[in-house]
Amino acid sequence: MRNVPLILALAALLAAGCSRAPELPGSSGQPGSVVQQIHADAAKAADLSDPASFADARRGFVAAPEGQILDAEGRVIWDFEAFDFIDDDAPPTVHPSLWRQARLNNHIGLFQVSERIWQVRGFDLANMTLIEGDTGLIVVDALTARETAAAALAFARQHLGDRPVSALIYTHSHADHFGGALGVLDPEDAKSRQVPVVAPAGFLEEATSENVLMGTAMVRRAAYMYGSRLPRSPQGLVDTGLGKAVAFGRVGLLPPTDVIQGQSEERLLDGVRFVFHNVPGSEAPSEFTFALPDLKAYCGAELMGHTLHNLYTLRGAKVRDALKWTRYLDEALGHVAGAEVVFNQHHWPVWGEAGIRDFIEKQRDTYKFIHDQTVRRMNAGQNAAEIAETLALPDALQDHLNVRGYYGTVRHNVKAVYQFYLGWFDAHPANLDPHPPVAAAQRYVAALGGPEAVVAKAQAAYDGGDYRWASELLKHAVYADSDHAAARELLAQSFEQLGYASESSTWRNFYLSGALELRVGGPETGMDRATMIDLLTHTPGERFLEAMAASLDAEAAGDLALTINLVFADQNESHVLRLANGVLHHRQGAPDPEANATLTLSKAFFLRMVTGGAGAADLLTSDEVEITGSTIDLGRFLRLIDKPAGTFPIVTR
């Protein structure tokens, strides 16, 4: 599959969101002296009051929303008061630099960026940008969910007038930038009015395919990264680095009607001149930025922002190309010529020629520094962990708060560069075929004198403020015996301290989510894929068959050989599935007359099967389904396809 971060995780952390813990059971809420010293040093190292950024985050403010956004069933999709606890003074449980970012991202509402350009911020993880055209509003990025997008547009219309949407632009293929499309445009209305829907090259393929293969694992990990089960509190979720949180609601898509294929292309949308610049393979595999020459403005999409971004995202994805990202930022310095403001699809804008150039140059140089200095040390024989432990940005970059690690970090981006070039193996023979985690843990615990001895050593490390070593020891203790209450609790406490010490929101969320699950267990249910039905409708059948092949229980299949025809009657599309040697192959083409069975059904019914809305009984009784050949063989085949719950353990085994 392609290098695309997570639609399903960003779009719909439904199960995690709905089971959000009201508090952190067992949490002391007290940082240790080592954490307190880290916070004190950070507060002295930079001017975190940062008056200029706070002025920019407030600039152009029109109005703020109140209350909650609900879905059709009355569930809370977004709560505007959830982060009201964020005030001027950093609590002892949050790194002061991260608290600064949390405060800045807490400026929510409708803002005027410049003449004819507006942004709605704080309705979702991303921003919705509105550009005033000759006849209506051009919407740039439709947020994650239908509910939040509709609410954001309605709120803007209260102040800008009830103008129609005259164009929709997707800056890139991540769900927090397109998932709410059906909340701003009705498909039939868009079709009848011929509303342009503009996207970068490769958008539809990337946007619809990214999670069908690896979605289950990514969603589970993303619940950690975005802290979706954590309480909104000084001891829990305070920010995500990019914005406050991820909305969990219905995710959909309107297919593009105009795809920007070239490196740079110009369009006139509702009387506004756009110059689009494709930047594929940077922050997203399909992405563009654009200039508005007549409005003296530039949209950097997510190529740039007020944080260091991810070259590798902790929820799991293919590694991003640091050199490409650097080159695109360098090219952007030419694209912003004449611009008086740069606005992006997260955070707040940057105004003024000098500020814009400094903003982009610092971002460019940060990614280039991480890339070049990592490669230099790789060639000197250092491995990823060694480089990450010692590589630090020079003061000229580190002192620039817009490249601090609130989302990505220098440490895990260094490891991404290493992985990009050399992969997982560090060339040490002992690491070529090590024992898997539980087997290794059992041996470590035995070698150290048993579980009680390990916990005692970990307690000494914890008491000395070495929370990383305490966590390493206790990881083995818990893997070796998941029911060891003392090991679980001390590991949770170690994670808490590491979370409180983290400047990175994603690291903090991972640590605190691990602590929560050690105390209360994992989620009871996985994500409700039914919320994705509006998006999955546009996903090609091949993507589902790839996922089906990767879900085959090969051990149960054994030497079984079967051929199944799968026919989508309403799509005039058929596939032949062949099972042999514990492998499932598929090809699109005419049905095989010698197949064991032929399953003919509508694409809509197939999607209900995929999302759990239809089961075996429905398959046998529905008018939308026809089965010819051996029903027994078809049943044997379908029983071989795993249906993972998406609740697998992470901090225990």
Summarised one tens digit per residue, pLDDT across range 610-640 is 888 888 788 888 888 999 999 999 999 999 9
User: What CATH code is carried by the domain that includes residue 277?
Assistant: 3.60.15.30
Determine, yes or no, domain membership for 653. no
Same-domain pairing of 592 and 506? no
CA distances from 328 to 207, 300, 403 (A): 21, 10, 17
Which of 386, 421, 456 is the last residue in one of the domains? 421
pLDDT at site 612:
81
In-domain check, residue 474: yes
Any domain includes 651: no
528 is a domain residue: no
Confidence of residue 28 (pLDDT cuts 50, 70, 90): low
HSE (CB half, 13 Å, CA atoms) of 451? 15
Angle at 427 between CA 423 and CA 428, to 5 degrees: 135
What is the Cα–Cα distance from 47 to 40, expressed in whole angstroms? Answer: 12
- What one-character-per-residue DSSP string does 237-289 give? B---SSSS----S-------SEEE-SSEEEEEETTEEEEEEE-TTSSSSSBEE
Q: What angle do CA 439, 440, 446 make, to 5 degrees?
A: 95
Residues 481 and 577 in one domain: no
- In order of 378, 441, 510, the CA distances from 437 in angstroms are 26, 6, 19
Q: In the listed set 421, 446, 466, which residue is the last one of a domain according to the structure? A: 421
pLDDT tens, residue by residue, 517-554: 999 999 988 777 777 788 888 888 888 899 899 999 99
Which of 24-33, 319-328, 381-390 shows the lowest mean pLDDT across its residues? 24-33
| Residue 645 placed within a domain | no
Determine the Cα–Cα distance for residues 350 and 355; give it in Å rounded to an integer. 7
**Pseudo-torsion of CA 480, 486, 487, 489, nearest 10°?**
130
Q: What's residue 644's pLDDT?
A: 86
CB pairs under 8 A, 24+ apart, for 442-449? Answer: 442/479, 442/480, 444/476, 444/480, 445/476, 445/477, 445/480, 445/481, 448/473
| pLDDT for the residue 23 | 52
* CA terminus-to-terminus distance, the chain: 28
Q: Which of 421, 439, 456 is the last residue of a domain?
A: 421
Q: How many CB atoms lie within 10 A of CB 510?
A: 24
Instruction: Answer yes or no: do 507 and 572 share one domain.
Output: no
* pLDDT in the model for residue 24: 57
CATH number for the domain harbouring residue 449: 1.25.40.880
> Which of the four pLDDT bands, split at 50, 70 and 90, describes residue 209?
confident
From the list 282, 69, 77, 284, the residue with the least C-alpha distance to 175 is 284
Torsion, CA 6, CA 11, CA 15, CA 17, rounded to 10: 110
More reliable by pLDDT, 82 or 17: 82
Statement to judge: residues 416 and 437 lie in one domain: no
> Do 136 and 223 share a domain, yes or no?
yes
The angle, 0 to 180 degrees and rounded to 10, between the axes of the packed helices 485-501 and 505-520 is 160
Of the candidates 328, 331, 408, 420, which has an alpha carbon nearest to the alpha carbon of residue 374?
Answer: 420
- Domain of residue 555: give its range: 540-639
- Going through 35-136 in order, the beta strands assigned E by DSSP cover 61-63, 68-70, 76-79, 109-114, 117-121, 128-132
Assigned domain for 335 exists: yes
pTM for the predicted model, two decimal places: 0.94
- Residues 12 and 66 grouped into a single domain: yes
Q: Residue 463: which of 33, 22, 131 has the closest Cα?
A: 33
Domain co-membership, 152 together with 290: yes
Query: Does residue 2 fall inside a structural domain?
Result: no
User: Which single residue is written with the structure tokens 């809305």?
Assistant: 613
Number of domains in the chain: 3
Q: What is the CATH number of the domain that holds 561?
A: 3.30.1050.10
Counting other chains too, the contacts that 559-565 makes at CB distance below 8 Å and 24 or more residues apart are 560/636, 560/640, 562/596, 562/633, 562/636, 562/637, 563/592, 563/594, 563/595, 563/596, 564/595, 564/596, 564/597, 564/598, 564/599, 564/633, 564/634, 564/637, 565/591, 565/592, 565/595, 565/597, 565/598, 565/599
- Establish if 207 belongs to a structural domain: yes
Tell me how far apart the alpha carbons of residues 149 and 170 are, in angstroms, rounded to a whole number.
13
pLDDT given for residue 10 in this prediction: 36
361/237 same-domain check:
yes
The length of the chain, given as a count of residues: 653
Q: How much is the pLDDT for 14? A: 35
- In the numeric block, the tokens 């991820």 are attached to 246
Query: Are 333 and 479 within one domain?
Result: no
**Residues 260, 134 share a domain:** yes
Spatial contact of 518 and 239, defined as CB atoms under 8 Å apart: no
CB 114 within 8 A of CB 518: no
Q: Taking 50 as the threshold, does the pLDDT of residue 7 lie above it?
A: no
Residues 414 and 473 in one domain: no
pLDDT the model gives residue 437:
97
pLDDT tens digit sequence for 80-133: 999 999 999 999 999 999 999 999 999 999 999 999 999 999 999 999 999 999
If asked whether residues 575 and 510 sit together in one domain, one would say no
* 498-509 pLDDT tens trace: 999 999 999 999
